[in-house]
Structure 1
């Protein structure tokens, strides 16, 4: 039996979605974030990094969303439902699998951190300076970078209904967390193509089942 160590309001929602798309049986071990929004120490008993998601499969313990999704596709997807067969689509598939955490998510995390420098748990004595620093970095660098990423994603989805082409793939599942976080921030103006992609995702029964299993998906700092 596959076991998902699932943290609320986290990227582990992607693993639940993948499992539902593949119609695989699994069990969930649930964890709640601390008041600081950090993962609880209990997760370190499962994997040394103490992060979620973690997948257990008959003694094999895997961390990192992308690695887990690729593992599931390679070991539990004999019909290749979630990996395109077209060579050009596979290039896109590989790119978006890595882009999600390698390029887009770091920008969103930096936005979250710098947007929080004027708030607890930052010590009260330096919050004013922290707020000014955070706003400065966002204005000078982060906002421009995120605008570039938003335009890039919009341009791609203007020509493709899914990230790897004509059909849903693990690339969409991997992109779901940062793409939805980008939309939730609402700072990039209208993104009609990404919004249309979001609607296609939310119409999928597997997505709906994953939300029922994992709980509402929300994004800190939005």
Structure 2
């Protein structure tokens, strides 16, 4: 994966001299390595849990590094001076992973298993499923720290991990597109409708999870019924 292409790096030329540009490239490489480290952990958990539960706890996983334009915009918005040190110190979401799960309880299971790993440190957790944003947005956001091992040192790096269900991701994607439409008429009415849709999606997630639980319960009962009962009169052959 190309970290940041040369065209995008042009954005930084007015901010960085050659030495700082080299440091920035190294920093983005560190973030990419940390992102891949966390992704690998999640992929391993997905494989293991798919064997144990006969289904995948997540449907897809996406990774991204924040673009130079987004980095500059966020630092400016927060009134923070532009430097490589400030990028690393002040921004926790340079490296991001989004995990799309089938059901809400899969989200919490994955989070528990990930945070149980002794080289993962939780920095911040924001649960917007239990405490939705005012607009109806639901997701769980983690900032975790993971070590990467380089040729001459071990370096802790931070990665943002977002967990959503398929339905939550559908809502968030459309809400994001609509939010940036210009000159929207009756914007307040549309916001109310989006909030209502978010509530419906939350109810749908809960209902689908209940249906899944019933199916799995029936499957387990079926397995138990198919097990041959022991014959108390049967003799053990020599």
Q: TM-score, normalised by structure 2?
A: 0.28
Q: Who wins on radius of gyration, i.e. which is larger?
A: 2
**What TM-score do you get using the length of structure 1 for normalisation?**
0.29
Q: Where is the strand percentage greater, Structure 1 or Structure 2?
A: 2
